[in-house]
Structure 1
C-alpha cells in the first residue's frame, strides 16, 4: 500500500492532464463530431473507437520508450520532464489565447463515399497516430506519472487508464455531438473551458519542470 500511495498522485495527475487535453477540440475530436453529424452516430462511435486505440498505441510506445531510456540513463528523467513541462506550458498559452478569441467550434465534415464502420475505426486510428503533436503530448502525460525507478505496474496503470478515458470520452463525443445544437451549446462554454484548461496546463507544466523526482 505504501508503494501505491507513492505513485498514485502522479498517476492521477497524468490522468487529469490527458482528460483535460481531450476536452479541448483537436483534429481527432473534430473528426468524431463531423462523422457523427454527416454519417451517423454509430459511424461516429466507430471512428471514436479507432481514436481510442490510437491513444492506446501512443501510450504503450511512450511508456516502453521512457522505461527503456530511464533504465539506461537515469539522468535523462530531468531532461524529459523539462521537455514535457515546456510542452504543457505551451498548451497553457494556447488555451489562454483561444479563450481570448471569438469563434465557434466547427466540426469537420468527413467527405467521400460512405464506408463501413470498420473503415471509420481505421480512419480514427490513422487520425490519432498521424497527429504530429501526439508524441510530445504523450511524453508530457507519461512524465507526470513516471518517477525515477518506477515499477512496471505504474506504466501499465497509466496505459490502461488513459485508454479507458479515451474510449469513454470519444464515444461520448460521438453520441452527444450528433446534432448541430450540441455543438452550439459547447461553443458557448468554450471560453470558460479554455481558461480552465490553461490554468491546469500551467500548473502541471510548472510541476514537471520544478519537480526533483
Structure 2
C-alpha cells in the first residue's frame, strides 16, 4: 500500500501541473470561448483519452525499465526535477509574455475533429509527457508492485486534471477576461507557481 503522504504529495504535484498554463489549457479555453461549453467538453474528452494512453504507457514502460536498468529510477527523478526547474525559470523570467494573450478565435469544428485535436494536443504536450515519464516514477516504491502503483497515481492525476479542466471549460470566458484585464494578478500567479515548482524540484533532488 502506498502511504497517505505519498498520495497527497503526488496529488499536490498533479494540481500544480494542471494549474500551470500550457497547450491543454489554452486549447480548452479557446475552444470553449469560440464554440461553446459543449465543444469544450468534447475537446476535454479527447484530452482525457490522452491522459489514459500516457498512464498505460507509463505503467507498462516504467515497470519494465525499473526492473531492467538499475539506475533509471534516479535518472528519472533528476530529469523530473530539472524539468520543474525549467518551468519555474519560465515563470520567473522577466518580461515573459502572458500565455493567455495567445488565445485567438477558432473556426467551428465537428465533434470528431474537436475530440481528435484535444487528443493530439495532449499527446504532443511535453508537460504531460514529463509528468508521466519523469515525475511519476519518483513517487513509486521500487519494493512494491510497480504496475498497480502507476495505475493508482495515474488515475489520481487524471481525476484531478479532469476536475480542474471541467471548471476551466465552464468558466473559460470569465477566466480569460480576468487574466487579460488583471496583469498584476497574472504576474503574481506566475511567481507563486514558480516558487512552488522550485520547491518541488529541490525536494525531489534531495529525496534520495
| TM-score (norm: length of structure 1) | 0.84
In structure 1, the residue matched to 2:54 is 58
**Separation in 2, partners of 1:4, 1:34:** 38
- Aligned ranges for residues 60-209 of structure 1 at < 5 Å? 60-97=56-93, 101=96, 103=98, 105-106=100-101, 108-109=103-104, 111-112=106-107, 114-151=108-145, 152-177=147-172, 179=173, 181-187=174-180, 188=182, 189-209=185-205
User: Which consecutive aligned stretches of 4+ in structure 1 deviate over 6 angstroms post-superposition?
Assistant: none
Q: Is the 8 A contact 1:31 1:110 kept in 2?
A: no
Which SS does the other structure have where 1:42 is aligned?
A: helix
Which SS does the other structure have where 1:4 is aligned?
A: coil
Q: Which runs of 5+ in 1 are unaligned?
A: none
Q: How far is 1:135 from its partner?
A: 2.2
**Separation in 1, partners of 2:126, 2:99:** 24
Q: How far is 1:18 from its partner?
A: 2.0
Q: Is the 8 A contact 1:51 1:170 kept in 2?
A: no
CA offset digits 1:95-120 (Å, max 9, x no partner): 2226x6564723533634x3332431
Q: Is the 8 A contact 2:58 2:150 kept in 1?
A: no
Q: Is the 8 A contact 2:87 2:197 kept in 1?
A: yes
Which SS does the other structure have where 2:21 is aligned?
A: coil
TM-aligned CA distance change 1:140 to 1:104, over 3 Å: closer
| TM-score (norm: length of structure 2) | 0.86
Matched length: 204
**Separation in 2, partners of 1:11, 1:140:** 17
CA RMSD, 1 decimal:
2.2
